[in-house]
Structure 1
Amino acid sequence: MEYREIKIYFDDVLYVQGLKNYVKIYLIQQAKSFLTRSTLKALLAQLPGNAFCRVHKSFIVALSKISLSQRTNLYIGKQQIPISSRFVDDFERRYRSC
């Protein structure tokens, strides 16, 4: 396994997926995701709140990268991401205002 430090720009992030004590960060123009030892909660605290929103216990999305939104799912490109009932009201309010 290769360990390295990579600078990631907020504008390049499509979405983040939580995997217990790790997160996968999916970026524009990258075929593979980046895995880092962190939690979604810790990562969310570092992201600009007006640009990112937690939509599920396992997902944070970049609001500007959403191509389609439904009540229980959203799409970033062809990737379907679930929206849980716990986060749906906050997501809809923030998505409408961006």
Structure 2
Amino acid sequence: MASSTTNNPIQKDLKEASEQFQQQILNASNYQLSQANQSISQVSSGMTKVQKSLEEARSNIRSLERELKSFKEHTMKFDSSFVPLITLPKEEWPSAKYVAK
């Protein structure tokens, strides 16, 4: 009886169709897995770039903070009577001939 089921053309076709369907599912799953891995790789690469940019930004901020501190220390050395031009009324501004020299 077992030999009659394996020789049955319908059973053979059904088995072949089942194997083809399983292979198609496997191929589709492998393709989706490959796409997911590629996406993960791209995200990981992007995250690495973002991390490097953040580190560079932090470094730039620290550098700017040092420059600001140095600038503040330098400006504190000015005489307390120093008055920036911007605070003077327009009629007290020095004439252009004195500023240009």
TM-score, normalised by the number of residues in structure 1: 0.16
Indicate the structure with greater helix content: 2
Indicate the structure with greater strand content: 1
Higher relative contact order (CA 8 A, sep 6+): 1
